[in-house]
């Protein structure tokens, strides 16, 4: 669902229980802030309970959902990092959340979320099935990455928060040229305002100061190359995405660097797995608090053999050496690198 639609639903106060998931975490924060402002107003309210699914216990969650306010006000319970809801596998908190969504309380608002890694992992058949079982007071939905309409609305809101007036064509223009997450967008708007220093903001200023990037598409490329079933096999889809990235202005050198970085991370995880490292050790190495993400990276890492890693590193080094020592066109070199990498799989 588009961000503007979810925002409208949250603003109309028609729902009591929300389970939202998105690739762009800042969009989840935007909806959360709407609820906070409407339900409790003051963040220090005694009726505001914030929980992190990576740190709290099932009992903590049950107690929160059974809390009654001592005052004449509604309660807001927030639960973040619910990645365990991505599949039908069992989890201690899953039954609690499912039961609550089927029967939400009138005097309590529940807001649960998780961030997925990219469009490839957006689909959630478990939650799609749960949607059909919950009443109208509960709302289960994924928030799409910003499209043109939602982007313009968010840009207008960001300027309004900064008390900056701009001509109507500027938010539309920024929405057309900017590529990135809403968190990146917020930072870029702040840079733009500082750059113009209270003066009129023109299209030339936007092009001079704002970053035009698309990290999300690069992450999708990495997930097409390195999959849970081994090296990607859909060469056509991979090359189409590379061409799209280059068309958007991404530098081939940057993409090659990110491919090499992902390969090194996966290899280190492979070594940890070979040493029977715990999930906590792998999470620490990946610098993540998400057990789901660590498990996913472990599956991708384990899908490649040490022989395949050896081939991949050799291919990467050869192409990086060519990039630095020859005059070959970098975009052509990038395509050669990717084709060579996906053809490095073991012959079984």
**Whether residue 348 has pLDDT greater than 60:** no
**Whether residue 147 has pLDDT greater than 80:** no
pLDDT tens digit string along 108-119?
A: 999 999 998 766
Q: How confident is the model at residue 305 (pLDDT cuts 50, 70, 90)?
A: very high
Strand partners, 75: 108
User: How much is the pTM?
Assistant: 0.54
Supply the mean pLDDT for the chain: 85
Half-sphere exposure of 248 (CA within 13 A, CB side): 21
CA 336 to chain centre: 29
Percentage of the chain lying above the pLDDT 90 cut: 31
Tell me which fold the domain 3-143 belongs to. Answer: Rossmann fold (3.40.50)
Write down the CATH number for the domain with range 215-342.
1.20.272.10
User: Contact 31/18 with Cβ under 8 angstroms?
Assistant: yes
* Range list for CATH 3.40.50.300 in the chain: 3-143
Give the mean pLDDT of 329-335.
Answer: 87
pLDDT tens digit string along 212-244?
A: 545 556 777 888 899 988 888 888 888 888 887
Write down the CATH number for the domain with range 148-209.
1.10.8
The dihedral through the CA atoms of 35, 40, 43, 47 has a sign that is negative
- The pLDDT value recorded for residue 321 is 86
Q: Of residues 147 and 35, which shows the higher confidence score?
A: 35
Q: How far is CA 58 from CA 52, 64, 86, 119, in A?
A: 11, 10, 18, 29
User: Contact 222/258 with Cβ under 8 angstroms?
Assistant: yes
**Whether residue 151 has pLDDT greater than 60:** yes
* Range list for CATH 1.20.272.10 in the chain: 215-342
Q: Of residues 150 and 194, which shows the higher confidence score?
A: 194
**Tokens 């993540």, residue?**
288
- The pLDDT value recorded for residue 118 is 66
* Range list for CATH 1.10.8 in the chain: 148-209
- The pLDDT value recorded for residue 213 is 46
H runs (alpha helix) in 135-214? 148-161, 169-177, 182-196, 203-209
Q: How far is CA 50 from CA 43, 47, 56, in A?
A: 10, 10, 10
Q: How confident is the model at residue 49 (pLDDT cuts 50, 70, 90)?
A: very high
The answer for 60, left when phi > 0, alpha when psi is -120 to 50, beta otherwise, is alpha
pLDDT tens digit string along 67-124?
A: 887 666 789 999 999 999 987 788 889 999 999 999 999 889 999 999 987 665 677 8
């Amino acid at each position: 669902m588009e961000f503007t639609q979810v925002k409208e639903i949250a603003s109309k106060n028609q729902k009591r229980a929300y389970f939202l998931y998105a690739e762009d975490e800042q969009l989840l924060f935007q909806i959360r802030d709407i609820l906070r402002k409407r339900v409790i107003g003051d963040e220090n309210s005694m009726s505001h309970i914030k929980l992190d699914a990576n740190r709290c216990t099932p009992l903590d969650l049950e107690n929160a959902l059974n809390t009654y306010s001592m005052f004449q006000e509604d309660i807001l319970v927030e639960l973040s990092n619910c990645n365990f809801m991505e599949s039908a596998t069992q989890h201690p908190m899953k039954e609690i959340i499912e039961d609550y969504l089927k029967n939400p309380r009138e005097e309590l608002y529940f807001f649960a979320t998780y961030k997925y890694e990219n469009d490839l992992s957006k689909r959630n058949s478990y939650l799609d099935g749960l949607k059909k079982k919950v009443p109208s007071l509960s709302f289960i939905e994924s928030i799409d990455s910003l499209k043109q309409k939602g982007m313009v609305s968010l840009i207008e809101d960001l300027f309004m928060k900064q008390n900056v007036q701009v001509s109507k064509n500027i938010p539309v223009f920024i929405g057309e040229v900017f590529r990135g997450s809403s968190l990146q967008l917020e930072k870029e708007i702040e840079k733009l305002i500082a750059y113009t220093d209270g003066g009129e903001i023109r299209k030339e200023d936007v092009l001079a100061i704002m970053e035009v990037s698309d990290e999300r598409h690069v992450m999708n490329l990495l997930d097409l190359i390195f999959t849970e079933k081994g090296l990607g096999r859909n060469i056509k889809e991979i090359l189409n995405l590379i061409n799209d990235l280059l068309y958007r202005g991404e530098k081939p050198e940057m993409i090659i660097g990110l491919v090499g970085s992902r390969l090194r991370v996966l290899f280190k995880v492979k070594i940890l797995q070979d040493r029977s490292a715990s999930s906590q050790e792998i999470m620490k190495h990946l610098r993540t608090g998400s057990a789901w993400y660590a498990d996913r990276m472990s599956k991708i890492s384990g899908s490649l053999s040490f022989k395949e890693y050896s081939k991949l590193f050799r291919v990467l080094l050869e192409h990086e050496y060519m990039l630095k020592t020859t005059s070959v066109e970098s975009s052509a070199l990038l395509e050669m690198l990717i084709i060579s990498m996906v053809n490095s799989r073991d012959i079984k």
